[in-house]
Amino acid sequence: MTASEDIVTRTFESESFELLLDDLTREIEFRNYRVTRIYDIDNIFEQPERGIGATITFERYKIVEFCNLGSCAELISQDLRAGVFMPVRFAVYRKAGATDASISFLRPSAFAHRFDSPRLAALANDLERDMTDVLDEMGF
């Protein structure tokens, strides 16, 4: 896996991070996925990053987990180990001082090929298309 190929990132102009997050969760739910958890990492910004001496500089950071139970069951019925990649997630973040925010996700197809299952790959491609569609709709 390589980050430049396997992680999708889109940037959105948004004065309100909360509205962007609300739009994202609405788009996820519109596609029959359930938002299972939103991790709030805002409280750790500007802590020294361990080991390299850099400073984390972000104002907002959320990890949005979501799942469609039917799709999840179908994925793990192809290979029980596939559950290690579930639920899928979006990282939603805004750098310190920025007016735009970014949303990133790991392409499901990046891990699916490791299972050597054409059916699992097809399901991962469907999931990836849904995730991309969510971001495409966010741009309007």
88-102 tens-digit pLDDT: 999 999 988 888 999
22-71 tens-digit pLDDT: 999 999 999 999 999 999 987 665 566 656 555 667 889 999 999 998 88
Backbone angles phi, psi at 45, to 5 degrees: -65, 150
**pTM of the entire structure?**
0.87
pLDDT for position 52: 59
- Which of 139, 17, 124, 116 is closest to 72 using CA atoms? 124
Backbone angles phi, psi at 137, to 5 degrees: -70, -30
For the chain, the distance separating the N- and C-terminal CA atoms, rounded to the nearest angstrom, is 31
**DSSP characters over 84-137:** GG-SEEEEEEEETT-SEEEEEEE-HHHHHGGG--HHHHHHHHHHHHHHHHHHHH
Superfamily of domain 3-138: TT1751-like domain (3.30.310.70)
Residue 20 has pLDDT above 90, yes or no: yes
- Residue 32 to residues 26, 27, 28, 54, 70, Cα–Cα distance (Å): 10, 9, 7, 40, 10
Domain ranges of the chain: 3-138
pLDDT for position 58: 83
